[in-house]
Amino acid sequence: MAESAGEAASTKAKAKKPDIDFSDSKAVVEQYTPYVRSIAGKVRKKLPPDIEFDDLVEYGMIGLLEAAQRFDPNAGANFMTFAYYRIRG
């Protein structure tokens, strides 16, 4: 039995939304730490060598938590896209 276009879009939208409570800071940090570290690594390449990687990760975590507080999952945006600019600084 084939899905209608509306059912397929609804299923796809549900698959994109992460099953995470953005008000739970610990869960957000656990879920997105690899993403923050990846962004920090890319940013580090453009900075002087005396800037510590761990400092960039910490600033990224602050941005991640700010993004989690401001994110509205009902707005239709992807959290990683929303958080990217706050993490990057």
Helices (H), 1-89: 5-16, 25-44, 53-70, 79-88
Please, what are the domains in the chain?
21-88 (1.10.1740.10)
CB-based burial, 52-65: b 16+ in 10 Å, e otherwise? eeeebbebbbebbb
3-state secondary structure of 71: coil
With a threshold of 0.85, does the pTM exceed it? Answer: no
Q: What confidence score (pLDDT) does residue 68 get?
A: 94
Mean pLDDT (10-residue bins), the chain, 89 residues: 51 53 89 96 95 97 96 89 94
